[in-house]
Amino acid sequence: MKVAVVGATGMVGEVMLKVLAERNFLITELIPVASERSIGKQVIYKNDPYTIVGMQTAIDMLPDIAIFSAGGGTSLEWAPKFAEVGTTVIDNSSAWRMDPTKKLVVPEINANELTTEDKIIANPNCSTIQMVLALAPLHKQYTMKRVVVSTYQSVSGTGVKAVQQLDNEIAGVKGEMAYPYPINRNALPHCDVFEENGYTKEEMKLAREPQKILNDKTFSVSATAVRIPTAGGHSESVNVEFENDFDLTEVRKLLHETPGIVVQDNPDTNTYPMPIYAHDKDDVFVGRIRRDETQPNTLNMWIVADNLRKGAATNAVQIAEYLVEKQLIKALVS
């Protein structure tokens, strides 16, 4: 596969190169791409240096797959141009997620919807992926009615500028601000921009994307997204009301048997998921599994994952792996 990694100099792009190398994705030619200001710089893939090229140069090289992690505007402008020359685009931005003509894919849940016709495929939001992976097997078994989620999101979810802001604040150095307030020793109930309904865009992604991924509008999600000064991954407190009652042992078993999920749940040994341990792992960790004692058929859980891995790069590479395995890429269609 000739693979373009668009946004190769960014937080997600850097992890993307790492994940592609670790999983030994079949790459015959790697094309790292970033903005005009990075052309000529180098990135490392499998210990070798590769030179960053611009968008048009990458298109002219006719890649089989382009994995975009370069923001919504870049994606809206450039993804169709890659698709036009036959490249399959897997996009990490929010640009195409709710477009009814584009698939929104978490491979463990709905990769089977993909066909050779899908030229732009959307990767869900990081906080959605980890939540929906845990909800999917429970929804199948007990039928969700309503989810209430509060997130505790890492600064790495905002990109390199936000990580720099936190590092500067810890070091006591003045620098560019990615957030409107200090983030060190703080919690900002503000992830992404505010929408007209008073919710942030991140909160509305958590509300809308699970319905599309699970292809079901009969349940609803209410979200509050909060940025905290962690670096390893996003955490979520999730309260789920089901139509049907559940058994906690069966809930743990269902989660344990779900590919990509690791159950870490033992109050006797203080075992529960935390971002410092989820960091650099591909799994989604679930713990604090308990019954909500204030109303029937309702469950509480704590879900943690590395937002740059399963929340972005790993999920995108898993989609690419599925496309190759099922021969859904132009070069492989017989």
Ligand X SMILES: NC(=O)c1ccc[n+]([C@@H]2O[C@H](COP(=O)([O-])OP(=O)(O)OC[C@H]3O[C@@H](n4cnc5c(N)ncnc54)[C@H](OP(=O)(O)O)[C@@H]3O)[C@@H](O)[C@H]2O)c1
Joined together, the tokens standing for residue 71 give 């923001």
Q: Which one of residues 5, 7, 139, 287 is an interface residue with ligand X (CB under 6 A)?
A: 7
Q: Which one, 10 or 63, has the nearer CB to ligand X?
A: 10
Is residue 126 flagged as an active site residue? yes
Beta bridge pairs of residue 315: none
Beta pairing, strands 2-6 & 220-227? unpaired
Binding to ligand X (CB under 6 A) within 72-91 occurs at: 72, 74
| Residue 92 near ligand X by CB under 6 A | yes
User: C-beta of 138: minimal distance to ligand X in Å?
Assistant: 24
| Residue 174 near ligand X by CB under 6 A | no
Which range in 64-72, 108-116, 201-209, 238-246 contacts ligand X by CB under 6 A? Answer: 64-72
| Residue 233 near ligand X by CB under 6 A | no
Binding to ligand X (CB under 6 A) within 119-158 occurs at: 126, 156-157
CA torsion 109→286→208→213, rounded to 10°?
0
User: C-beta of 175: minimal distance to ligand X in Å?
Assistant: 15
- Quick one: three-class SS letters along 238-307? EEEEECCCCCHHHHHHHHHCCCCEEECCEHHHCECCCHHHHCCCCCEEEEEEEECCCCCCEEEEEEEECC
Query: Which residue number has the CB closest to ligand X?
Result: 10
Q: Which one of residues 3, 12, 106, 147 is an interface residue with ligand X (CB under 6 A)?
A: 12
| Residue 70 near ligand X by CB under 6 A | yes
Q: Which one, 50 or 242, has the nearer CB to ligand X?
A: 50
Q: Which one, 37 or 174, has the nearer CB to ligand X?
A: 37
Burial annotation 230-253 (CB, 10 A radius, 16+ → b, else e): bbbbbbbebbbbbeeebeeeebee
CA torsion 226→18→58→322, rounded to 10°?
-90
Which range in 5-13, 96-104, 112-120, 317-325 contacts ligand X by CB under 6 A? Answer: 5-13
| Residue 35 near ligand X by CB under 6 A | yes
Structure letter (DSSP) for residue 30: E
| Residue 206 near ligand X by CB under 6 A | no
Among the options 126, 139, 191, 279, which is catalytic?
A: 126
Is residue 191 flagged as an active site residue? no
The count of residues interacting with ligand X (CB under 6 A) is 29
Q: Which one of residues 61, 83, 160, 231 is an interface residue with ligand X (CB under 6 A)?
A: 160
Question: C-alpha 171: how far from its chain's center?
Answer: 29
User: What is 102-141 written as a DSSP string?
Assistant: S-B--HHHHGGG--TT--EEEPPPHHHHHHHHHHHHHHHH
Amino acid identity for residue 29 in this structure: E
| Residue 165 near ligand X by CB under 6 A | no
Per-residue contact flags (x/-) with ligand X for residues 302 to 331, judged by CB under 6 A: -----xx--xx-------------------
Amino acid identity for residue 200 in this structure: T
Map residue 178 onto helix, strand or coil.
coil
User: C-beta of 176: minimal distance to ligand X in Å?
Assistant: 12
Among the options 139, 190, 191, 234, which is catalytic?
A: 234
Q: φ, ψ for residue 143 (rounded to 5)?
A: 65, 105
User: C-beta of 234: minimal distance to ligand X in Å?
Assistant: 8
User: C-beta of 309: minimal distance to ligand X in Å?
Assistant: 9
| Cβ proximity of 183 and 156 under 8 Å | no
Beta bridge pairs of residue 220: 146
Distance CA 94, CA 124 (A): 8
Catalytic residue set = 126, 234
Give residues in contact with ligand X (CB under 6 A). 6-13, 34-35, 37-38, 55, 69-72, 74, 92-93, 126, 156-157, 159-160, 307-308, 311-312
